[in-house]
Amino acid sequence: MIQGKKVVVVMPAYNAGQTLADTYAEIPRELVDEVILVDDQSRDDTVARAHALGIDHVIQHPQNRGYGGNQKTCYQEALRIGADIVVMLHPDYQYTPKLLEAMVYPIAHGLFPVMLGSRILGRGALAGGMPLYKYIANRFLTLVQNILMGQKLAEYHTGYRAFSREILEKLPLEENSDDFVFDNEMLAQIAWAGYIIGEVTCPTRYFKEASSINFRRSVVYGLGVLRVSLSFRLAKWGLLRPRIFNLKTGKRLPATQSDPA
């Protein structure tokens, strides 16, 4: 707890059995009140390992819902247990939990309602093993997104994010995709609502056990990112009315408890 605010870490998991223990071991429990792991029908022993580690809340989807669907459950459960600040941390050990303090403090002290751990700030991405084609694609997509959405972010594609409770309650997250483009739709919604996004430099690791989408999925993701950014610009011009930007009537996360594993 920081400044009287409850801090909850959520981990959307899929086949994270080999990396979960290393990730969990670095979470500063003196800072984090509770940890939630949502398993999206992994084919390995992720759930068993999570229970063995003593993770506070372990939830298993009855069927695979996709990366975005997994996050929806993560945030829904975090809100249910009273989180004031929610940190989304991948359990594949690509992002270090040692940065949690830097991610959480700006939110706790009211500086930013959203924080991103950026691999692009500094020189950590390529040094950490990010494939060159992904680095180039990241830089290209971020440039286009900044132009279309009027932002100045170093990166839109990080999987290390922290949010205030207000953000999660206000955004119509249920309108977003259940696939990987969920991340970008969420950032577009945040920009649409007028919130300011903070960033910190984050080292990253690329290795065999770390999760990563293949080239074909990367292309689909990239096209989805461009679609979201273009929709944002057209909506600003009044030429389109996407449901994901309807902050008044768009579907928010349901206030129901997920089924535990």
- The reported pLDDT for the residue numbered 216 is 80
pLDDT band for position 208 (50/70/90)? Answer: low
Least confident of 59-63, 133-137, 148-152: 133-137
Top-confidence residue, 1 or 34: 34
Residue 238 lies in a domain: yes
Region 42-69: what's the mean pLDDT?
96
Residue 2 lies in a domain: no
Q: Which residues contact 184 (CB under 8 A, 6 or more apart)?
A: 145, 156, 157, 224, 225, 228, 229
Over the chain, what is the mean pLDDT? 92
DSSP-derived secondary structure letter, 254: P
Residue 221 lies in a domain: yes
Q: Do 250 and 244 touch, CB atoms closer than 8 A?
A: yes
- The reported pLDDT for the residue numbered 217 is 81
Residue 134 lies in a domain: yes
Region 175-183: what's the mean pLDDT?
96
The alpha carbon dihedral of 136, 138, 140, 143 has a sign of negative
Tell me the pLDDT tens digit for each residue of 111-134. 999 999 998 887 667 777 777 888
Residue 259 lies in a domain: no
Q: Which residues contact 220 (CB under 8 A, 6 or more apart)?
A: none
Instruction: Name residue 70's amino acid.
Output: N
Structure tokens, 260:
């535990």
Give the total number of structural domains in the chain: 1
pLDDT band for position 213 (50/70/90)? Answer: low
CATH number at residue 37: 3.90.550.10
Residue 253 lies in a domain: no
Q: At 204, is the secondary structure helix, strand, or coil? A: strand
Residue 261 lies in a domain: no
Region 45-71: what's the mean pLDDT?
96
Domain of 12? Answer: 7-245
Residue 254 lies in a domain: no
pLDDT over threshold 50, residue 258? no
pLDDT over threshold 80, residue 210? no
pLDDT over threshold 50, residue 259? no
